Structure 1
Amino acid sequence: MTERPIRIGLQLQPQHMDYATIRRTAAEADELGVDILFNWDHFYPLYGEPDGLHFECWTMLAAWAESTSRAEIGALVSCNSYRNPELLADMARTVDHISGGRLILGIGSGWFERDYTEYGYEFGTAGGRLDDLAVSLPRIESRWAKLNPKPTRDIPVLIGGGGEKKTLRLVARHATIWHSFSDAETLERKLGVLRGHCETIGRDPAEIEVSVASSPDTREKMYELGARLFTIGVGGPEPDLTELREALTWRDKRNG
């Protein structure tokens, strides 16, 4: 298999800024050459003022599909609990078409309890939410095959999380991209677990792009371990793209 190139993502966290700032920053990142533009799927800020400015994930992705032209777009990650899987599949297919085939379906089992309680979803347990995700992923894939028109491409599926018994098994079976929240030492162990799950089902683990948070201090080590997608997170009120510019320079030098 050809060596997978480094890609750089920007998670533009939709908190503590107005939408004009979000739109302007997304457009700037797109123009700079970011590979993927992510938001996240929450209803309240994750840090800072807990009731600060915040916007919804999927309506924003649809807007980005029209207002950007180069970068792939997606959530890091969409919460499986908040939408019926058939509906989510249709939403993803629609944004895929609006964007001209640039949508990545990032998905995870959910964890932020306030989202659940304030919006009327059952929080349950971590294991139960992962079991729900295991049921939803085949339903999403099945719905994509039934939609008219079909997606413009095989929509890449990014699964976030590192649970070794359940999450990484789902990654092996369903994911195009795995996003790990681990440090380097933990990533190395979890990659071994993921390879084991892939071997069990007869899948080449090289088919799965390894995604991590980007940090100048750990980037080279993560690269050596096999990470190829590096994402920088920025939020409001004044998102700073200095680190993104540096990471794009590193990408271009590394990729030759």
Structure 2
Amino acid sequence: MTVRIGLQLQPQHADYARIRDTLVAAEDAGADVVFNWDHFFPLYGDPDGKHFECWTMLGAWAETTSRVEIGALVTCNSYRNPELLADMARTVDHISDGRLILGIGSGWFEKDYDEYGYDFKTAGRRLDDLGAALPRIRDRWAKLNPAPTRDIPILIGGGGEKKTLRYTAEHATIWHGFGDAETVRHKISVLDGHCVDLGRDPKEIERSCGVQGKPSEVAQPLLDAGVTLFTVGVGGPDYDLSLLEEWIAWRDAQSR
């Protein structure tokens, strides 16, 4: 698959105007995908600092951008009825002219659940809920009028080997993980095994990984492991895009 560079533009510790300006700057710099995340409070820094909601923001991003794909890294399955989420995704898909990625996971940030009144359950039950939601999302897409503009890519984030990676093999077109190259290589081998069990070609699934280091330090081992989508995370209030720009330059050098 083509090497791509993503940005996780974390919607915390900044006014929305700053977030919007960073989104535009990332698109202008050449990023392939810009993600936000689906939380209600900052994950680091002041725990009660500035923060904005995920999906209303994605609707605005769909109008603000013209080229990059957009999505959440990742949507928490617990926060919305699967049919509603499917309709929201279909709507943003149309607003963006077919540039939405539906990133989704089982959820983990307990403060979100407690403050907003969701049942946190156990990790296993949250994963079971995700497994039940994925076919419901696809079923709803098939019923909506108008239909999505394309077969909306589903990205599943997480490394659970028994459930998460199996759901990825069954439903997703992108898998997102994290860790060093050895860890990622192992997770990909497990994912490939699930694909074989389900009769699916593993090559149909793009492999994504969050990166914190410079491409000169970490890119080649991850590329050798099978990763082709590399995503840099930035938080407010500064949103320094210098590392993103290094990764974009590295991507461009691969095609020369």
| Bin of the TM-score, shorter chain as denominator length | over 0.9
Name the CA distance, whole Å, in 2 between partners of 1:195 and 1:39. Answer: 28
The residue that corresponds to 1:78 in the other structure is 75
Match of 1:211 in 2: 208
Structure 2 counterparts to residues 15-94 of structure 1, below 5 A:
15-94=12-91
Matched, 1:141 2:138: yes
What's the CA shift for 1:255? 2.4
- Where does residue 244 of structure 2 map in the other structure? 244
Q: In the alignment, residue 53 of structure 2 is paired with which amino acid?
A: E
> Is the 1:44–1:115 Cα contact (8 Å) retained in structure 2?
yes
Paired residue for 1:102, among 99, 104, 128?
Answer: 99
- Distance in 2, matches of 1:185 and 1:241, equals 27
Specify which of 139, 164, 168 is matched with residue 165 of structure 2: 168
Q: Percent identity?
A: 68
Q: Per-residue deviation at 1:187?
A: 1.1
Residue 231 of structure 2 is matched in structure 1 by: 231
Provide the C-alpha distance between the structure 2 equivalents of 1:248 and 1:218, rounded to a whole number of angstroms. Answer: 14
Show the counterpart of 2:191: 194
Alignment counterpart, residue 157 of structure 1, candidates 154, 158, 167: 154
CA distance in 1, matches of 2:19, 2:84: 26
Per-residue deviation, 1:139: 0.1
Distance 2:73 2:87 in 1: 18
Cα distance in 2 between the residues matched to 1:83 and 1:251: 36
Q: Does 1:9 align with 2:11?
A: no
Query: Please, which runs of 5 or more residues in structure 1 have no aligned partner?
Result: none
Shift of 1:182: 2.5
The total of aligned residue pairs comes to: 253
TM-score, normalisation: structure 1: 0.98
> Runs (4+) of structure 1 moved beyond 3 Å?
none
User: Which residue matches 2:178?
Assistant: 181
Conserved? CA contact 1:33–1:70, under 8 Å: no
Instruction: State the Cα RMSD in Å.
Output: 0.7
SS at match of 2:104: strand
Deviates more, 1:44-53 or 1:182-191: 182-191
Partner deviation per Cα, 1:129-169 (whole Å, 9 max, x = no partner)? 00000000000000000000000000000000000000000
Q: After TM superposition, give the deviation of residue 183 of structure 1 in Å.
A: 1.9
What secondary structure is seen at the aligned counterpart in 2 of 1:218? helix
